[in-house]
Structure 1
């Protein structure tokens, strides 16, 4: 089981293991930070791990994973996205240009607040790379947003102690609401694209 492996890694590597786990969570979403970080917080109360070291390593892991996905976005690039869009049924190259224009305007807010939203936290790095956002700005916004998210989860584990798993239940409910909102947005976008295609 993935979580058993993550727990073993944190036990063996300490704070560095927390950073590795968070890095993997960024590039492999099935590893949930909502479980890893509260557990790390609880572990700090047992004297086996320093809470500040765990937080710092977790932020480094978040930023490193985000940069990996940012690099993927840079490799894909806007030109390739336009080519892909032209071959798709409901979208075209102009939609890519509109999306990039929107990201030019609101990208800073998207990267920062996206770090606080399950399902978006990792993926927001890809459009930032496609849009070629300033890498230093991207890193700074990612670091600040990740520090807030990781701190909440780690300190929740610290405060709840042996009941740290309760945090996962709270954030599971939060995630469910977020996913429902995302599903509604995607449904609306699909409806809009189909209606546009029918009218043209």
Structure 2
């Protein structure tokens, strides 16, 4: 599989994306579908890396006979599981108590924020893990609260595997069925990424504004009480 395919799809997105795409293609050329799995595992650990580029390239490699379509789906899903479980382990290692202490030391955060987040995850964790696998950024980050809440590993693995298989299949099959025309799918995936990013930025801005107003109100109340 020619690395020029990756360059054509990523040239408008910056040199770092081109370099990553070239590396992923070279990895698949060298060690086959395992290379696609490694690239997807890294994408899980570092959310800015684009699975929407790697997965169709894996499908295109399968179409060209470098490996089978089943191998592409199996190894990319295994890669998703490996990356997710590493972040799950980080969350389990940190734990709620340690995260509360860390939050209390960070400006604008409080230990109670961790308590509320863990309580929310305990109520909605299964849906969050499954559907979170289909959202950029969240498909990586959702593994951390799963570990903090100590979701049973078998349940976390089942939900993560199912959600990842569904997401991966869409993009691997796009590369397999569309062939050289697969970048059209990447354009729509990029729109989804920007929508999610805008929502995240908006939520962060709302949180900061609300927390600053709360702190100022508490200061005024303490001043009037004294």
Match of 1:143 among 161, 166, 175: 161
Offset of residue 47 of structure 1: 1.6
Match of 1:121 among 117, 139, 142: 139
Matches within 5 A, 1:1-200: 1-200=19-218
Query: C-alpha distance in 2, partners of 1:89/1:181?
Result: 22
Mean CA deviation greater in 190-199 or 103-112 = 190-199
- Alignment deviations for residues 35-57 of structure 1 (CA, whole Å, 9 cap, x no partner): 00001111111122200111011
Query: C-alpha distance in 1, partners of 2:139/2:124?
Result: 16
Query: C-alpha distance in 2, partners of 1:63/1:102?
Result: 23
RMSD value, Cα: 1.2
Query: C-alpha distance in 2, partners of 1:61/1:88?
Result: 33
Q: Which structure exhibits the higher relative contact order, with contacts defined as CA atoms closer than 8 Å and separated by 6 or more residues? A: 1
Query: C-alpha distance in 1, partners of 2:105/2:47?
Result: 28
Mean CA deviation greater in 18-27 or 89-98 = 89-98
When the two structures are superposed, what TM-score results if normalisation uses the length of structure 1?
A: 0.96
Which secondary structure does the structure 1 equivalent of 2:151 belong to?
Answer: coil
The structure with the largest alpha-carbon Rg is 2
Mean CA deviation greater in 27-36 or 50-59 = 27-36
Query: C-alpha distance in 1, partners of 2:119/2:178?
Result: 44
Which secondary structure does the structure 2 equivalent of 1:90 belong to?
Answer: coil
Unaligned runs of 5+ in 2: 1-18, 219-226
When the two structures are superposed, what TM-score results if normalisation uses the length of structure 2?
A: 0.85
Indicate conservation of the 8 Å contact 1:39/1:165, yes or no: no
Offset of residue 171 of structure 1: 0.5
Number of matched pairs: 200
Offset of residue 111 of structure 1: 0.8
- Alignment deviations for residues 157-186 of structure 1 (CA, whole Å, 9 cap, x no partner): 112111122222121111111111111111
- Alignment deviations for residues 22-69 of structure 1 (CA, whole Å, 9 cap, x no partner): 111111234311000001111111122200111011111101110000
Q: Extract structure 1 runs of 4+ deviating beyond 6 A.
A: none
